[in-house]
Structure 1
Amino acid sequence: MKNFIFQNPTKLVFGKGQIARLSELIPDDVNLMITYGGGSVTKNGVHEQVKAALKGRKFIEFWGIEANPQVETLRRAISLGKIENINYLLAVGGGSVLDGTKLIAAGIASDMDAWNIVLKGYSENNIPFGTVLTVPATGSEMNQGSVITRKETQEKYGWMGTYPQFSILDPEVTYTLSEHQIACGLADAYTHVLEQYLTTPGQSRLMDRWAEGVLLSVMEIAPKIKENPRDYNLMADYMLAATLALNDFIRMGVTQDWATHQIGHELTALHGTTHGHSLAIVMPGTLRVLKQQKHDKLLQYGERVFSITEGSEQERVDKAIEMTEEFYRSLGLTTRLSEENIGNETIEIITKRFNERGVAFGENQNVTGNVAREILKSCV
């Protein structure tokens, strides 16, 4: 196991009715701005719950953070926050609202342009914030990560912000999510685990078993959620699985991949593909191209998650990859670029971008632009 330092300061406030606790979670003496997305919270009752919980408090609201948060929008929120002397934020929405709010928190505390903060890759200074999560997927409610889009150049980059001070997770708010939103959320959570699990064998029994437990849970609840998306216990498992998939726990002391995410971000930047959907397309391709590198872990994954025990080692590896793609398709997602009318032009753009940046992703830092091209071609 590799050396590591672990600290996750976010307080999870989980369960039905917990939005009512906002008044005790947010300090009394702050200048508060609440950030939202496009307005779905006005239809599912969350907006009214937030206002009721903060009755008597003064705050301002900022609306319009996109599904893939754009720096152009976030600059306006930062400017408003500085004018109003905002020193505390509350993000209400899905992972994109939370990701965007992390940049707002950094931008208000900095004189640097918001996009330059993203390009720098991290922020030293941030104002504090909390969250009310409405779409389980990204884990942004309990991690530092944030992914921001620059619309004018069709670029999308990840960077490291700050942890939320608290996050409220009420499974009942998921009842109004569309089937596609849930499918993408489940795909996102599943892929987050694979990015940390399908790397180097023999690093940590504990991390392996924890990762496999999340994978098995997601696979078990996915078809049941399709049948009954208003089952509280199912949606509670879904919500918590998405958080545990990317809140620093299952990566302790192990190598990580993230090549699939980096390629997926480019598909989103260029075509607006929903993040979780882009991962469902790219991950099977990553496994196909890197199956020799990931051979031992794929064998373990196939046996422990899919109960694949018969055939030669290569047959079992291939079957594990095949069943991974089948799982994504069982969610109702396409898994091939051609199904989304994405062709060779996009593949070459992504290859060129990676090569120009000189990047090398993956647990072995060997996923260059040319390897990304191979992965994408295997996804056609």
Structure 2
Amino acid sequence: MQENGQKENTKTVIIRRLVKIALSNVTFDLDIMKVGIDLIHFATSDYFLGMDTFAQEKGIDVNKYYVGIGQEKMSIAPPDEDIVSLAAKAVEPILQQIDRAQITAVMFATETGIDQSKSAGVFLHKLLNLPSRCRMIELKHACYAGAAGLQMATALVKVNPQEKILVIAADIAKYDQDSSGEATQGCGAVAMLITQNPRILEIEPGSGYFTDDVMDFWRPNHRNTALVDGKYSTKVYLSSLKHTWEHFTEQTGRVFEDIDYFCYHIPFTKMADKAHQTLLKKVNSQLDKAQADAKTLPSQIYNRIIGNSYSASLFVGFISLLDNVKDRLDNKRISFFSYGSGCVAEFFTGVIQPGYQTVLMSESHRQQIAQRTELDYPTYIDFYYKTDYAQSDLALPQLNKGRFRFCGIEQDKRLYTQQTPSNAL
């Protein structure tokens, strides 16, 4: 009996060792598996307001905007455009390249939500005919939520490599008329497909993050527009950058010189310059202005002519880098600094994958920007301040030129439709 027991114990030990080896191999495979952005596309509205028109109306030197905050134009959403129609416009070109039935989750990041209970993604689900075996969740923390969605999606795919997850960041930045924030409005949506073996960007493990309860920007439930303390918000943004950088270097061991290009959250374009100068000073960099600009300016081009898109703006910057940098980016390391007022911030990196250019949708981005219609100031006011959305029933004029349209409200239910693209206005 004792001999049989010894044999049994020996078998148990061998089995345990084999299981341990198998599990260690699984862990190793997970560690080396690449996960990140396989496809990425952005959308903006069909209209814009020039900062020259804005400055003339306000009686202000236009250079306060061109030079002072680095803005030339801001995309303006018509009354029948919201975050769902913008998101649909951003996502559909991705879905046309894959089997949409394989999408397993949608993480919809926004701070301009359309319902206090129902996720904006569920409205999108029907509009885009996504599969029923699919999770939908809305994420919120000011402008940080898009980065949170990207990190969560990356973690889910690492656990289950079969997952194909859409991360969407969509917002319409709107402030009170004649407020200090009015010049920094804009709108946009970015859609990202997160998979294993991504063709554009591998998200690297390790990041730096920081949270502090501050009141630099907020929007109470009873308000349609945000409240902001601009100077204080800039101060908190830069302080958060320093904290996340310190944590990032502790977590990853990477240093400033390991990063080839930098993308920052951009509430207004000049903010990215301030952020990079702060980081240069923090690390005692010896780069001259031309060298520093080369690492940041390509990511600012679209924001100058679109304006603030809140949770989407960091990723609009990334797309701007992909579309406009002169050198090839294969195997280059890109950093991302996400800041959400209130505040939560994160600093992380990714590596551009070889051959990434073959799956970019640069022409779509350029066409959208070039084909926008310029608004005069009275029409801009009509678009942004004359529609009362707090009605149980609302029919909206057809001004949205795109395929997807928010057409109104019926018995407190929002209605969306697909239409033939038009030349409204």
**TM above 0.5:** no
Higher strand share: 2
Higher helix share: 1
Per the shorter chain, which TM-score range? Answer: 0.3 to 0.5
Higher relative contact order (CA 8 A, sep 6+): 2
- TM-score where L is the length of structure 2: 0.30
Q: Which of structures 1 and 2 has the bigger CA Rg?
A: 2
